[in-house]
Amino acid sequence: MRDIPESESEIAGIVSPETTRSGPKSAREINLSAVQSVVETVRSTLGPRGKDKLIEKPDGEVLITNDSETILSETAVSNPVASLTISVAKAVGQEYHDGSTTAVILTGALLDAAESLIEQGVAPNVVARGFERARQCADRSLDDVMIPGGWNVEVLTHVAETATTGTGLGMAGSDVATLVVEAAELVRDADSFDPDRIRIVTQTGQSPATSTVSRTVALAKDPVRQAMPDEVIDGRVLFIRGSLELSDTNQKTSIVIEDVDSFTRFHEREATEIRDLAGRVVDLGADAVLCSRSIADEAQSVLSRENVLAIRQVDEDALNTIAASLGGTVVSSVTEATTDDLGSGDFRRDPDDELFCIEGNGEPRPTIIIRGPTQGMVDELSQHVETGLEIVAGASDGGVVGGAGALEVELSHRLRRAARGIDGREQLAFEAFADALEQIPQTLGENAGLDPVDALVSLRTAHASGDRWAGIGENGDIINAVDTNVYEPVEMKRQVLKSATEAATLVLRIDDVLTVDALSESLSSD
Ligand code: ADP
Ligand code: MG
């Protein structure tokens, strides 16, 4: 980001007449209201009682969602500070696909709290510094209160459930969570697992309840020729990142065709070369070949005749996964392949599902098969499954905390206690940070139809008397989040606090907004 000169005299000479300036006070006002408008967009979606938003896209497509990452991606904003807030939501979402709404609300609440401190005469940079100290303090409290990770199937299922509540897509959060943990269990190594080892495949046409975890790699593809075998047991398999076409192996040269004969000769030579490529697959001893791109017609004929199963257009992700699970190596062309590159295993066809189930002696690579009536629905469900996988990976690695706003109230309680030992203006920043955190349970309460002030008072009392996980239940009652199995990964919460604080302090440090209004006009008149 570029530095904005502080003094009037410095800037007078460099700002063109088309540039309007706001000055520090109104800059803060503009920024605050920009952030608040982003907050207002997503506020009502927070929590299990959050409402959905209907978005009509410019192309007329209608989207119904309560995922703030999606909502904000589809919302056009022109204000740079609003875009900044949106990128915070996305940054949080990128890692876990969760926590975005919380991060946005917290950013807004921090800026709100900062504004009243600034009005009391505390300099914005002092507030910013105080916020960062408060965040560090909250971060240490997180270590104190968290419940250590580990492979506890019940807890992990509940973590995934909390992250995927409100799917409303014919599949309860608990069903999504069960699929996620079942698949994770198949690839786990002690207390952790790599979510990338699990593939998600979507299929339209059946009910979401028929979604399932396959221990094998599921591939929704057909053989290139019907005559090819659709079952290969204990076969050898070649994986090509590329095609079985001439262009991949030979440089294309331009030739001058003088007569029909030379054209035919040229064509025949090409066909022979393609058949040779296919012949090479056969010579390697492959019973099946998978290509990420196309397979030429002549090559298909040869392979079909030789009873080799050939599948084309296998996306690279699937290709790598299948190679890993069959213990093979992906090669970039058949000419460089050796028998060592082949994997081995079974291909079975499930005619009802139009899927190949592929299994070998390599790494376990399960597939979560998501089914639903429409593509939009399966896409959204698979997004939830992806979220669940990231969340479960984070929770088993790093541990969990109680959700339902309980963590935020507990951190707020601890920050206020810590503030007592701090002098001066920083104490005010700690208290402001504590206030901001309470916006989360307050919003959860509001969305559940509670009087937000009453709810907050009861929560504060509970936490002051040591009920660390008191939060707002789905029905608006005060619950113990851990007793009612509302868990969230501690690392996700850490990331939310960090991103929101970073965004708020960044905005606080801006003391001027320069808007170049007439840029396009001046460009066109040049
Ligand atoms: P975000 O984008 O921040 O994840 P969500 O709309 O998913 O926003 O809401 C998350 C909040 O809802 C968290 O504070 C979480 O603890 C809370 N929450 C989720 N499920 C429940 C539940 N069953 N009961 C109470 N609170 C819940
Ligand atoms: Mg969420």
Same domain? 251 vs 378: no
Q: Write the pLDDT tens digit of every residue in 280-320.
A: 999 999 999 999 999 999 999 999 999 999 999 999 989 99
The residue-averaged pLDDT of 145-156 equals 91
Categorize the per-residue pLDDT at 179 as very low, low, confident or very high, splitting at 50, 70 and 90: very high
- pLDDT the model gives residue 130: 93
Q: Supply 96's token pair.
A: 């876990």
Same domain? 291 vs 245: yes
- Domain membership of residue 521 (yes or no) is no
Same domain? 411 vs 467: yes
Same domain? 77 vs 164: no
Q: Write the pLDDT tens digit of every residue in 229-253.
A: 989 999 999 999 999 988 644 445 5
Å from CA of 488 to ligand 2 middle: 9
- Domain membership of residue 304 (yes or no) is yes
Higher pLDDT, 352 or 177: 177
Categorize the per-residue pLDDT at 507 as very low, low, confident or very high, splitting at 50, 70 and 90: confident
Categorize the per-residue pLDDT at 519 as very low, low, confident or very high, splitting at 50, 70 and 90: very low
- pLDDT the model gives residue 426: 86
Helical pair 100-119 and 80-96, crossing angle rounded to 10 deg: 140
Same domain? 361 vs 375: no
The residue-averaged pLDDT of 502-512 equals 83
- Does ligand 1 come within 6 angstroms of the Cβ of 101? yes
pTM of the model: 0.80
Same domain? 37 vs 140: yes
**Residue 257, pLDDT above cutoff 80:** no
- Does ligand 1 come within 6 angstroms of the Cβ of 67? no
Categorize the per-residue pLDDT at 254 as very low, low, confident or very high, splitting at 50, 70 and 90: low
Q: Cα 80–82–85 angle (5° rounding)?
A: 115
Residues 6+ apart with CB under 8 A from 317: 199
| Structural domain boundaries, residue 92 | 21-147+401-516
Same domain? 339 vs 452: no
**Domain boundary, last residue among 350, 383, 398:** 398
Same domain? 323 vs 382: no
**Residue 486: closest CA among 395, 413, 402:** 402
- Does ligand 1 come within 6 angstroms of the Cβ of 443? no
- pLDDT the model gives residue 256: 66
**Residue 365, pLDDT above cutoff 70:** yes
Same domain? 97 vs 175: no
Higher pLDDT, 263 or 402: 402
d(CA 526, CA 516): 16
The residue-averaged pLDDT of 44-70 equals 81
78-103: b (≥16 Cβ within 10 Å) or e: ebebbebbbebbbbbbeebbbbbbbb
- pLDDT the model gives residue 97: 76
At 154, which helix (H) or strand (E)?
helix 153-163
Categorize the per-residue pLDDT at 180 as very low, low, confident or very high, splitting at 50, 70 and 90: very high
Categorize the per-residue pLDDT at 525 as very low, low, confident or very high, splitting at 50, 70 and 90: very low
- pLDDT the model gives residue 376: 83
Neighbours of 353 (CB within 10 A): 19
* Residues with Cβ–ion distance below 5 A, ligand 2: 98
- Does ligand 1 come within 6 angstroms of the Cβ of 165? yes
- Domain membership of residue 337 (yes or no) is yes
- pLDDT the model gives residue 252: 52
- Look up the CATH number of the domain holding residue 413: 1.10.560.10
Å from CA of 202 to ligand 1 middle: 26
The residue-averaged pLDDT of 65-84 equals 77
The one-letter amino acid at 143: D
166-178: b (≥16 Cβ within 10 Å) or e: bbebebbbebbbb
- Domain membership of residue 482 (yes or no) is yes
Same domain? 372 vs 361: no
Categorize the per-residue pLDDT at 214 as very low, low, confident or very high, splitting at 50, 70 and 90: confident
Categorize the per-residue pLDDT at 500 as very low, low, confident or very high, splitting at 50, 70 and 90: very high
Which residue's alpha carbon is at the smallest distance from atom 12 of ligand 1? Answer: 47
Å from CA of 99 to ligand 2 middle: 5
| Mean pLDDT taken over the chain | 85
- Does ligand 1 come within 6 angstroms of the Cβ of 408? no
Q: Write the pLDDT tens digit of every residue in 2-25.
A: 444 444 444 445 555 566 666 666
**Residue 90, pLDDT above cutoff 70:** yes
**Residue 364, pLDDT above cutoff 90:** no
Q: Supply 149's token pair.
A: 């990770």
Same domain? 335 vs 252: yes
Query: For tokens 């992250």, what's the residue?
Result: 163
**Structural domains of the chain, count:** 3
Residues 6+ apart with CB under 8 A from 260: none
What is the distance, to the nearest Å, from the Cα of residue 224 to the centroid of all Cα atoms in its chain?
34
- Domain membership of residue 11 (yes or no) is no
Which of ligand 1's atoms lies nearest the C-alpha of 488? 16
**Percent with pLDDT over 70 in the chain:** 87
